[in-house]
Amino acid sequence: MALTREQLVDAAVGVLSEFGLADLSMRRLARELDVQVGALYWHVKSKQELLVDVAAKLLDSVPRPNVPTPELAPMSIAALLRQLRSALIAVPDSAEVMQLAQSMRPESLDPMGWLLEFLSIAGVPEADATYARHVLVNHLLGSIASHQEAVALSAGTEPGTVSTEWEEAAFDYGVRVILQGLALEHPPVV
Amino acid sequence: MALTREQLVDAAVGVLSEFGLADLSMRRLARELDVQVGALYWHVKSKQELLVDVAAKLLDSVPRPNVPTPELAPMSIAALLRQLRSALIAVPDSAEVMQLAQSMRPESLDPMGWLLEFLSIAGVPEADATYARHVLVNHLLGSIASHQEAVALSAGTEPGTVSTEWEEAAFDYGVRVILQGLALEHPPVV
DNA sequence: ACCTGAACACCGTTCAAGT
DNA sequence: ACCTGAACACCGTTCAAGT
């Protein structure tokens, strides 16, 4: 049976999750899928295009939340950000991959659309909503990136030494600060 | 005269500024400096180590601001962030390089220390200041990264088409939101 | 339609050996 | 102390040719 684009994307997600972006080469994927490198280029135009699909797949596990009322919108936003974080935090270099996808094909990332919608519902003026989302997404991806660089660096030393607690506290703190700065009442810490 | 580590770092900053991280290879630097590749590894332990030095050099142009009074601290923070932004915005992939340096050798980046200091002066509790800095730095580097990916993508199409205005407005908006969320009075837009 | 084989133009890092 | 020469083990992308 012929190779499909889906199999290719799945293989890429697998390698990324287990070994990180540095090991995610077209040649390695070809080896893993028992084809020649050139075969991959029949299914995707470039490695970049493949990574955009990988990014979308990483967010597949994040369910679309119910549309909240204005009072509940800030809590929904915080909850959605937490979901995005937990979908990405265990995948090495996921922040980098997401950033690429965001600038190459933002419409392929559904949850980012929801975020904008909820900000509007929460009362952020139309003109500011896109800015506001940027601040939140920068915080999300930034937090993930520094967590993962910390993990990567501590890989040499004793394992399991990265304080997950600190990272999570820092993340939640940031979300609260930003929502508060947007003049949305910040949700209680869950 | 023998090659120095400084010359190596300067050459790296040059290539990064002109051509970006993808073109910043050890082999290219060697060519540019008229030595064999191996020679570079007498001066630096690895490419990563070189990039940490590059990151520090990129911030050399940012002067240490005077230590502000508590009332002026929020304005100093906003001003410092603007300075950092303008030192980095024109250098392709600078956000990526900074993120690496931050996690590998944070103490090599003086302005990050100043930021922490000013947050304290502004009245952010000791326990929160590091979190707060993270939020601000995530915003700074995130804004720069998305600006630069936009520039990179539009390089194929008509040039000069990236709305610098929008990016700057988004950046300032974010800084205001965060400072306000920290319960510091946000400074007037300068 | 889908893939192979082979090439092109590259990488980072190491290290014996030279001066 | 500082560098060369050469090797090792890789990259992404293209494309004629095969089935």
Helix (H, G, I), strand (E, B) or coil at B64: coil
> Which pLDDT belongs to residue B184?
75
Asked if the Cβ of residue A2 lies within 7 A of any atom of strand C, the reply is yes
Residue of B53, B104, B130 whose CA lies nearest to A150: B104
Among protein residues, the one whose C-alpha sits closest to the C1' atom of C3 is A39
CA distance B137 to B131: 10
| Measured CA A47 to C1' D13 distance, in angstroms | 10
| Measured CA A139 to C1' C14 distance, in angstroms | 40
What pLDDT tens digit does each residue of chain B (190 aa) get?
Answer: 799 999 999 999 999 999 999 999 999 999 999 999 999 999 999 999 999 999 999 999 999 999 999 999 999 999 999 999 999 999 999 999 999 999 999 999 999 999 999 999 999 999 999 999 999 999 999 999 989 888 877 776 666 677 788 889 999 999 999 999 998 755 544 4
Residues B82-112: b if buried by 16+ CB within 10 A, e if exposed: bbbbebbbebbbbbbbbbbbbbbeeeebebb
> Which pLDDT belongs to residue A190?
41
A164-181 and B126-153 are packed helices; what angle lies between their axes, rounded to 10 degrees?
80
Compute CA distances B25 → A20, A105, B148, whole Å.
Answer: 21, 28, 20
Q: Retrieve residue A99's tokens.
A: 């950033």
Among the partner-chain residues B99, B152, B181, the one whose CB lies closest to the CB of A181 is B181
A29 has a chain B CB within 8 A of its CB: no
> Which pLDDT belongs to residue A165?
85
| Measured CA A44 to C1' D14 distance, in angstroms | 14
Closest chain B C-alpha to A129 CA, distance in angstroms: 10
B177 has a chain A CB within 8 A of its CB: yes
Closest chain B C-alpha to A35 CA, distance in angstroms: 28
| Size of chain A in residues | 190
> Which pLDDT belongs to residue A1?
79
Contacts of B100 in chain A (CB under 8 A): 149
| Measured CA B8 to C1' D4 distance, in angstroms | 18
Residue of A134, A90, A97 whose CA lies nearest to A112: A134
Contacts of A180 in chain B (CB under 8 A): 180-181, 183
User: Cβ of A99 and B179 within 8 Å?
Assistant: no
Q: Give me the helices (H) in chain B, please.
A: 5-19, 26-33, 37-43, 47-58, 73-88, 94-104, 110-122, 126-153, 164-181
What pLDDT tens digit does each residue of chain A (190 aa) get?
Answer: 799 999 999 999 999 999 999 999 999 999 999 999 999 999 999 999 999 999 999 999 999 999 999 999 999 999 999 999 999 999 999 999 999 999 999 999 999 999 999 999 999 999 999 999 999 999 999 999 989 888 877 776 666 677 788 889 999 999 999 999 998 755 544 4
Among the partner-chain residues B100, B146, B180, the one whose CB lies closest to the CB of A181 is B180
> Which pLDDT belongs to residue B153?
73
Among the partner-chain residues A128, A132, A170, the one whose CB lies closest to the CB of B134 is A170
Q: Number of helices and strands (H, E) in chain B?
A: 9, 0
User: Cβ of B131 and A178 within 8 Å?
Assistant: no
CA distance B136 to B111: 13
